[in-house]
Amino acid sequence: MVRMTEQRRVIYEILSREAWHPTVDELFLEAKKSLPRISQATVYRNIEALIQDDLATKIVGLNGPARFEKTKAPHAHFECRSCGAIKDIFIDTECINSIMDNKEIQQCATETIVVKLLGLCQVCRETNI
């Protein structure tokens, strides 16, 4: 049976911060502030459990470690191809619906749609020139 432990509660609370798409390392460092003895393995385990319960979502980028976010209403992600930062983009539900209105997609038993925009974030545009 699954317990809502202090560790999981803390990880979920960190994940719930706005505009925050932390990696496991970032979650770990944040969690240590309130739970100094927490292990990185615990972060991996609990983020996985939160995903199973559909409270968290995994975001994979082209490079680097996975990022995570609190599960929320469907939206898109802008991913910086240089630093990997993620920014939420709220796109019109109409757009999603029009994509899903496709015979091939419906035949495939699609459960989730992921829309990602790739480019250079403003920070990298300003520093990398």
Partner DNA sequence: CTTGCAAATGATAACAGTTATCGTTAAGGT
Partner DNA sequence: ACCTTAACGATAACTGTTATCATTTGCAAG
Nearer to its own copies, 29 or 121 (CB): 121
116 is a site residue for DNA (CB under 7 A) = no
CA 75 – CA 68 distance, rounded (Å): 14
Stretch of 21-29, 32-40, 42-50, 89-97 lying at the interface with its own copies (CB under 8 A):
89-97
Mode of pairing for the β-strands spanning 56-59 and 67-70:
antiparallel
- Of 31, 32, 39, give the one whose Cα is nearest residue 10: 31
- Which of 94, 126, 127, 128 binds its own copies (CB under 8 A)? It is 94
Q: Of 9, 17, 33, 58, which lies in the binding site for its own copies, with binding defined by CB under 8 A?
A: 58
Q: Exposure pattern of 56-82 as b/e (b: 16+ CB <10 Å)?
A: bbebebeeeeebbbbeeeeebbebbee
Question: CA 27 from chain center: how many Å?
Answer: 12
Q: Check residue 83 for interaction with its own copies (CB under 8 A).
A: no
Residues 47, 27 contacting (CB under 8 angstroms): yes
Q: Which residues bind DNA (CB under 7 A)?
A: 1-3, 5-8, 23-25, 35, 37-42, 44-46, 48-49, 63-66
Q: Which residues bind its own copies (CB under 8 A)?
A: 58, 60-62, 76, 78, 81, 87, 89-92, 94-95, 98-99, 102, 104-105, 108-122, 125
